[in-house]
């Protein structure tokens, strides 16, 4: 409610790849969901409920809401909630599912060209080479209409969608600018430091590490240096 009131968009990670509910994928890493866990259907229903309850709240759902293989369902959700957006924070599932039927995926991007945002799912923890690799993959998927390789081994297991330049401009820049504005907003360093320190305390308590050794602790120190 607070984010809606002040006009702050939120990014929401909802669900996981569909295979995680099937019992095999990710089992060795503890990623598989069981019968006691909330279903993927329920998670998406909760997103819809929140979006409808707070119609002025801009919600950006990361990873295409893990619906890249269920575009009819994705379309139904976006049509029902005008304040909902998807980004392409990248995982292999998104690339492969959108490549399954390039024409169908292209139609989806055409219909929802004002509701889709560029994302890579990289952060300062990732090596720059990984960020570049993910950026190259999403660009090849959207900008070309040719087969290409996911791993770079020469096996053409993906296929580009060949989106128009007008859609690409919206996807890469205009849609984001529509939400947050074309110019970066000035950071309130005092509030940024306080928030980072709060996150550092929580992280330190959860991990047993010193506050200054946590990621938010390092961010807080960077903000303090800027404030000097």
Nearest to 16 by CA among 4, 1, 7, 29: 29
3-state SS class at 32: coil
Is a pLDDT exceeding 70 seen at residue 193? Answer: yes
How do residues 41-96 score in pLDDT, each as one tens digit? Answer: 999 999 999 999 999 999 999 999 999 999 999 999 999 999 999 999 988 899 99
3-state SS class at 22: coil
Q: How far is CA 186 from CA 1, 168, 192, in A?
A: 23, 28, 11
pLDDT of residue 25: 60
- Where is pLDDT greater, at 127 or 143? 143
- Assess contact for 86 and 116: CB atoms under 8 A: yes
Tell how far CA 81 is from the center of its chain: 17
d(CA 55, CA 61): 15
How do residues 95-112 score in pLDDT, each as one tens digit? Answer: 999 999 999 999 999 999
Q: CB pairs under 8 A, 24+ apart, for 43-47?
A: 43/14, 43/15, 44/14, 44/15, 44/73, 44/77, 47/12, 47/14, 47/77, 47/81, 47/84
pLDDT of residue 1: 79
With both helix axes pointing from N to C terminus, report the angle between 102-111 and 92-100 in degrees, rounded to the nearest 10: 100
Q: Compute the average pLDDT of residues 215-223.
A: 95
d(CA 177, CA 222): 27
- Where is pLDDT greater, at 208 or 39? 208
pLDDT of residue 105: 98
- Where is pLDDT greater, at 23 or 212? 212
Report the predicted TM-score, pTM, of the whole model to 2 decimal places.
0.85
Count CB neighbours of 172 within 10 A: 15
- Assess contact for 179 and 85: CB atoms under 8 A: yes
């Amino acid at each position: 409610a607070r984010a809606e009131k002040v006009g702050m968009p939120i990014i929401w990670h909802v669900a996981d790849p569909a295979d995680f509910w099937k019992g095999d994928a990710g089992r060795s890493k503890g990623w598989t969901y069981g019968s006691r866990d909330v279903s993927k259907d329920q998670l998406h229903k909760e997103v819809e409920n929140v979006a409808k309850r707070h119609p002025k709240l801009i919600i950006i759902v990361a990873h295409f809401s893990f619906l890249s293989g269920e575009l009819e369902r994705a379309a139904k959700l976006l049509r029902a909630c005008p304040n909902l957006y998807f980004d392409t924070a990248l995982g292999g599932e998104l690339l492969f599912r959108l490549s399954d039927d390039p024409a169908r995926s292209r139609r989806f991007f055409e219909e929802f060209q004002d509701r889709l945002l560029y994302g890579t799912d990289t952060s300062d923890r990732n090596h720059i080479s990984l960020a570049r690799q993910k950026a190259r993959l999403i660009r090849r998927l959207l900008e070309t209409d040719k087969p290409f390789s996911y791993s770079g081994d020469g096996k053409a297991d993906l296929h580009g969608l060949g989106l128009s330049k007008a859609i690409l401009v919206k996807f890469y820049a205009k849609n984001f600018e529509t939400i947050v504005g074309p110019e970066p907003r000035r950071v309130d360093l005092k509030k940024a430091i306080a928030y980072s320190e709060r996150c550092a305390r929580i992280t330190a308590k959860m991990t047993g590490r010193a506050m200054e050794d946590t990621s938010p602790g390092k961010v807080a120190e960077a903000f303090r240096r800027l404030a000097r």
